[in-house]
Structure 1
Amino acid sequence: MVRPRMLIVAHRAGNTVDGLRTALASGADLVEADVHLYRGALEMRHSRTLGPRLYWDRSSGLTRRRDVVVPELEEILAVAGDDPRLLLDLKGRSRTVAARVAETLRTRRPGVPVAVCTKEWPMLDAFAGDANVRRILSVANAVQLARLRARLRGERVDGVSIRLRLLTASVVAELRRATGLVLAWPVDTDAALARAERLGVTGVVTKNVRSG
């Protein structure tokens, strides 16, 4: 039997206009974009703020705000148009970001399919009545994974997104009984991709999205 092709999620590609356009043109199945609420604006970035003038990211270090172009959610939605391949990763712990994103999606792209994920699962309640929104529970550590496994014993969910090193084949099989979408991240090397394939995940979050 031929296994279905794994979905490809373009990691962080939606955080810039050019990155979004490139990822959509490449044929990625989903394009991830990180959403932060900062001083009333829904900013698209992975970096954290350090006061009003600096960003910090583990991969890029410190960056001055004035040196970086940070789009807002409405700009990214305008570029995406009616394309259903956006995956919005909600950052921070305040449920306000979820409420604001939900309001923006209903106003700017009513009914257009979109995926939303977060490590703060209660945020997903903001989209509970939106049939066009696929709600994905994100997991970054072993404690969260244990909580997820307990929750999924009595509940089906739209999808899960889990750090690759936390997964085993038996855990993936267990998760797939509760959802049709099991994403692994990060998958940026050939070795990581081979492991993800062996584990049986249904999709990978990767920076290496190739055209065609």
Structure 2
Amino acid sequence: MDDRPLLAVAHRAGNNLADLRAALAAGVDLVEADVHLYRGALEVRHRKAVGPHYYWEQWTEVTRRRSLVVPQLHEVLAVASGDPRLMFDLKGPSPAVAPTVAAALRAHAPGVPFAVCTKQWQMLDAFAGDPGAGRVLSAGDPLQLARLRGRLRRQRVYGVSIRLSLLTPAVVAELRRATDRVLAWPVDTEEALARARRIGVTGVISKNLPMLKAIVDSRIPVATTLV
């Protein structure tokens, strides 16, 4: 087991401005925000658009667009106010989301470091010229993981984000030879956290903010009094 402290990443907390504030206040290392390009706007949401009037989220019912408050990227950046702890997960079918996000970050948060991740790895090329961009390759199924392992045998990368159920100690050890950041998701329970620690990942992506705060707080040395 690795004794280094785990990175604490707040899963989807950047999709809601109040959750974003809470996650930053809790001291997490990164706050994930899902970004879609929709009709020219960079919408921050995990839900998928179904036509012009509805959103759809897996395992939940279809919701009218007018019933939800969906922030745009510039609003998220305004709340973060130069904080470098944002990780943008690029979503949707349009390859234009990547250069549009890159341009928006240069315009609204120039010089502020950030992380960016996606399962469509070619999108990360849009950030190749930005020294402040930490590019994270994501994999959510066995085929993607197999492709990722092949790529990492040839190339070192900033970081990877992998579904926890796909990982074993041997796979994590292999990944860590090519990157310093192996993030696992979803890690929302103490049982999942224990497994993540056991297999050796370097960070967890979780919706459980109290659990993430406990991870962060555990790094703070306990004050002692000399008698």
**TM-score category (smaller protein):** over 0.9
Q: How does 1:106-117 map to 2 (within 5 A)?
A: 106-117=106-117
Measure, in 2, the Cα distance between the counterparts of 1:169 and 1:37.
Answer: 37
Q: How does 1:47-126 map to 2 (within 5 A)?
A: 47-126=47-126
Q: How does 1:181-200 map to 2 (within 5 A)?
A: 181-200=181-200
Alignment-derived partner of residue 18 in structure 1: 18
Is the Cα–Cα contact under 8 Å of residues 134 and 159 in structure 2 kept in the other structure?
Answer: yes
Measure, in 1, the Cα distance between the counterparts of 2:114 and 2:34.
Answer: 14
Matched, 1:159 2:155: no
Measure, in 2, the Cα distance between the counterparts of 1:123 and 1:2.
Answer: 32
**Residue type matched to 1:13 in 2?**
A
Deviation readout 1:89-132 (Å, 9 max, x if unpaired): 00013220001000011111111110000000000000000000
- Normalised by the length of structure 1, the TM-score is 0.97
The offset of 1:43, in angstroms, is 0.2
Deviation readout 1:21-65 (Å, 9 max, x if unpaired): 011001111000000000110000000011111111014321111
Deviates more, 1:185-194 or 1:56-65: 56-65
Structure (1 or 2) with the larger CA radius of gyration: 2
Is the Cα–Cα contact under 8 Å of residues 93 and 120 in structure 1 kept in the other structure?
Answer: no
Matched, 1:142 2:145: no
Matched, 1:43 2:43: yes
**Residue type matched to 1:196 in 2?**
A
Q: Give me the identity figure in percent.
A: 64
Q: Which runs of 5+ in 2 are unaligned?
A: 218-227
**Residue type matched to 2:120 in 1?**
E
**Residue type matched to 1:169 in 2?**
P
Secondary structure (helix, strand or coil) at the match of 1:83 reads coil
Q: Paired residues, what number?
A: 212
**Residue type matched to 2:162 in 1?**
I
Regions of 4+ moved over 6 Å:
none
The offset of 1:2, in angstroms, is 7.1
Q: Which runs of 5+ in 1 are unaligned?
A: none
